[in-house]
Chain A
Amino acid sequence: MGRNPVTWLGSPTFPTAARTALADVQLRGNLAHATGTIRTKREAAVGELPDWERLRRAGEAIKDDVLSNLDVYLTRLEAAVTARGGVVHWARDAAEANEIVLGLVRAAGATEVVKVKSMATAEIGLNEALEAGGVSAIETDLAELIVQLGEDRPSHILVPAIHRNRSEIRDIFRATMPGASPSLSDRPAELAEAARAHLRRKFLSAQVAISGANFAVADTGSVVVVESEGNGRMCLTLPRTLITVMGLEKVVPSWRDLEVFLQLLPRSSTAERMNPYTSVWSGVTPGDGPREFHLVLLDNGRTATLADRVGRQALRCIRCSACLNVCPVYERTGGQAYGSVYPGPIGAILTPQLGAGTDDPGTASLLRSLPFASSLCGACYEVCPVRIDIPEVLVHLRGRVVAEKPAYAPEAVAMAAASWVMVSPRRFRFAQRLLGPLRLLARRGRVRRLPWPASLWTDSRDVPAPPRETFSAWWRRNRG
């Protein structure tokens, strides 16, 4: 298998990227402000629903049912969409999905397409593939537009430009948006207005639109896009041809299941009771909206993820980004350090699974580092609307990484030594006595630096000073 574009080529491992990100004071300030705002709002939005925990359990069970019978629901969806005038395509990987979409755009005779924000198309690098094929893709979501105009990379699932504050956004618009006023201010309303004016003409003349899907109902063929700005509605309604790229796991069995997700998703993501706009369509409706509808079902590592009994729960994800907003690691490093369109806690378990099997050594190192990009504090699990036990999957994936390491790796040698010491009470007591002198190095109860090779540990951590008396000595003295 080749390289999966779910990670960015040439990205360093997480610790290296994190070190750079941590030095960026502006970035840390922007992230602390934005995630702090949304955390408070989310708590209020969730607190309003007395049945929130029951909704989470229902969401979890629906998604587990989907995963357990994925082939059944996908073929059912395919039949329902086809019966209503849509065309369903299956794509094994990113390259095949991109090829299908490019072929459809060419068949429609278009050289420009409008796009509504979609993680699936970001994951497969569709924009780059279209560009290589002579088609320009215009991102119409405000944050995606900021990233695209700034020739930047996304750093958040919901708000890809979260790392930019309002004055940085104003500067990007002034410098790159055709027709942007040089006196444009940094008031958010004025920035939104500038984006409206910039994209209006594009929407009204577009022939082809490309979207993702939040949900697709197997029974009825109804596809759902949840959004805020109305750029989604523009893309889903105005052009003649609509192409939707959807990860296999986005299917839900029945219409009724949406009553769960349309409550869980908005409150978890933008912390609203309901997002401004949700669009639902089934195939083609004569006289209303696109005349051609194509649904591309994307695998790209999902079936490989499904095969892992512990890791497969990552496929329950509905891309709300609540786990990013509560993660102490994400809040400090930002999303770009994860080297993927999927950052944060969910990215740390999704990216290594989707991208597994890469033959690029740099990418493989990045993927191995991601499950360690967490303190395992568990905040992500608590807020996850579909109860993905992210810490459990992180530990599972760490185990895989460690198991791949040779027996002479420093970590393995240290662990073997520790094990040799700890199996014998005599050796353990002796080792404890050896540690006593460490107290001499301690200042205010902490040892900040140890000589090599222990310096590998203390480079980024303090060691608590050993106590005056060990617990076993204390026990013998008092109770022995």
Chain B
Amino acid sequence: MASSREVVLGRIRAALSDRPTAPEVPRDYDQTRALGDVIGLFAERAADYRALVRRVRWDDLPAEIESSLRARGATRLVAPADLPAVWRVPGVVWSLDAPAYPLPVRTLDRSDGVLTACAVAIAETGTIVLDAGEAQGRRVVTLVPDYHLCVVREDQVVGTVPEALASLEPTRPLTFISGPSATSDIELDRVEGVHGPRHLEVLIAG
């Protein structure tokens, strides 16, 4: 008996017996756009989705992280093990996570939040993208804690979705984040705060 694979592939070939020709894909949509100040636009659009956004100087980053955590009242933080050491500010108990020594989910659940960097940010949509690369950690680390503080370097901000995708490695685990967790399931109106982190704070550093 033919395997289901062979049956399905056979059905496809039979269905295409009229040999439809594949059209040329018109790629005349915008790859980039004149968006003006992309950093300002990213800040505005991320804030539109109820992320807390602050623009800070790169040199002040440790102090700014400290002030964000103090304002939030966060004292037990999770971070990927390769987070820059200077970001692990004092006055906070840091739990470090790495694939080789993963934190238990309970620890993540009981923490006050997580601090990471990102891979790229998209101005037009107010999106940050994590690719599990440097200082971003395993996916679960930015999922279970209720507060995510994310550092975006100004040179990581691109204008459009096509620009961002071109800069990413598709086989890495990727997470696109646009604001805190939300739902449109009640009367098709957006409400923040379901299963993912309910508080997203972005520090744009340059």
Contact = CB atoms under 8 A, between A and B. Distances in A.
Contacts of A272: 49, 178, 190
A204 B143 contact: no
B171 A204 contact: no
Nearest to A299: B8
A317 interface: no
Nearest to A33: B187
A307 B11 CA distance: 9
B125 A195 contact: no
A276 B193 CA distance: 11
Contact of A169 (B30, B186, B192, B196): B186
Contacts of A309: 18, 20
B192 A189 contact: yes
Contact of A58 (B26, B106, B195): B26
Main secondary structure of the interface of A (DSSP, over half): helix
A279 B174 contact: yes
Interface in B185-206: 185-197
Nearest to B27: A58
Contacts of A162: 187-188
Contacts of A286: 99
B60 interface: no
Interface stretch (B63-71, B82-90, B132-140): B132-140
Nearest to A283: B171
A34 B16 contact: no
Nearest to A297: B8
Contacts of A89: 4
Interface residues of B, number: 78
B83 to A, nearest CB: 16
A: contact size bracket: 35 or more
Contact of B173 (A189, A274, A280, A303): A280
A256 B165 CA distance: 7
A96 B9 contact: no
B111 interface: no
Contacts of A228: 181-185, 194
Contact of B100 (A92, A257, A287): A287
A327 interface: no
Contacts of A360: none
Contacts of B180: 276
A273 B165 contact: no
A319 to B, nearest CB: 15
A142 B174 CA distance: 23
Contacts of A75: 9
Contacts of A33: 187
Interface in A166-188: 166, 169, 188
A68 B185 contact: no
A166 B109 CA distance: 29
Given A38-B188, A289-B139, A54 B178 contact: no
Given A274-B178, A285-B173, A230 B196 contact: yes
B191 A189 contact: yes
Given A61-B25, A274-B126, A277-B176, A234 B8 contact: no
B204 to A, nearest CB: 17
A70 B16 contact: yes
A233 interface: yes
Nearest to B105: A204
Contacts of A241: none
Contacts of A204: 105-106, 109, 144
Interface stretch (A214-222, A328-336, A469-477): A214-222
A252 to B, nearest CB: 11
Contacts of B125: 273-274
A234 B139 CA distance: 10
Interface string A309-321: 1001000000000
Contacts of A193: 193
B170 interface: yes
B24 interface: yes
Interface in A45-68: 50-51, 54-55, 57-58, 61-62, 64-65, 67-68
Interface string A155-168: 00011011001100
Interface centre among B18, B179, B180 (most CB of A within 10 A): B179
Nearest to A303: B11
Contact of B181 (A219, A260, A277): A277
Nearest to A220: B170
A229 B29 contact: no
Contacts of B162: 259
Interface of B: 3-5, 7-9, 11-18, 20-30, 33, 45, 48-49, 99-100, 102, 105-106, 109, 122, 124-127, 132, 138-140, 143-144, 161-162, 165-166, 170-197
7 contacts: A37-B187, A71-B12, A142-B194, A159-B188, A273-B124, A279-B139, A303-B15
Interface of A: 30, 33-35, 37-38, 50-51, 54-55, 57-58, 61-62, 64-65, 67-71, 74-75, 84, 89-92, 96, 140-143, 146, 158-159, 161-162, 165-166, 169, 188-189, 191-193, 195-196, 199-200, 203-204, 217, 219-222, 228-231, 233-234, 236-238, 248, 255-260, 262-263, 270, 272-282, 285-289, 297, 299, 303-304, 306-307, 309, 312
CB-CB nearest 6 A-B residue pairs:
A230-B196, A287-B99, A303-B11, A307-B15, A230-B195, A229-B194
